[in-house]
Structure 1
């Protein structure tokens, strides 16, 4: 059976067509990963992170839907510019929480040294781990939610605060997905800087989008 491959004007069937499609996906992942890093740096890290992640999530959602943009680069930067202020405004609590967690993680060794108690340090580390997991889950929801809905700050955060706890399966799937990516990256270190961020955006985006689809099915249209 022949499988049509429209890009490049050629029809390639069988295993060759499958390989070409997977190669195109891999190339797009690498490209989006690089663009997210560049976008983050362009916004001096703190202001660039959320617009870059949002733009990367938008491009990868189109790829996952089977409708990839003709130019990944142009689509990314168009989304980045359009949503720069909105995502930084909506995501300000997420940025603050991330900065505070990073500061606490850096201070943890000094806490253990100053108190001389490994028990206190272990409790603090466990608390940071739980808070970090919560921030990761919120971040995984934030990108698809802000991509799909253009709501004001209050409505957005009411949904973000309530939706993950009421969707524990999705939250667990997000954490398992991120853990799997981290595990693969730990053992295949070269892959992490190449596709780590893009793979996390793509896979967690698919997981959360499916949950959002189910939520929309149960909510009557306004």
Structure 2
């Protein structure tokens, strides 16, 4: 997973789209979660720059098998499954102890992030059965400096299907081409080789190690930073707005 927004205040029972979302395990390793990395929620929780306008979260096709769309209250089963994962609640605002009230609050926070211009939170939905299997977010806190971060996570039932690559590829292409953001970055724990492979496959480059960059659970953890510039060439894939 890509880390959610760093050091975002966590509500007692929730943490779902922080930039440190546990990167899901690689598509070939169902046990790992290469779809989680810290960046989405934490950054959004930290707040958007003063005066930022609300944003509209679009629905987009992520290849033939998945769709990215705004969060809905019907996504509570996704929050429930994520809350039972040992890693996702540590790096996101997904509730560690599930309740319908906590899950509903989590979904409302996603709406608030768009309403305050903090970023674009997406639910990742499998097309064949319309089942939500993960989350990805584009976070805009540092947009005035010409950069944004992406974080994502995938629940166990969605792993091993290429979901993370498809979602990251789509959001990356859309952010660089349609939104014109000069630089995108991911923060991934060094042990999470599955998430790192996904990032590299999409075109990101490892740029260095940030020591003690983010709090995960009760300790500060190192994060490897991966970057992609809009001058690096087209991302691997094209975003297609869904009808």
Please, what TM-score do these two structures have when normalized by structure 2? 0.26
Q: Greater relative contact order (Cα 8 A, min sep 6): structure 1 or 2?
A: 2
Q: Which has the higher strand share?
A: 2
Please, what TM-score do these two structures have when normalized by structure 1? 0.27
Q: Which has the higher helix share?
A: 1
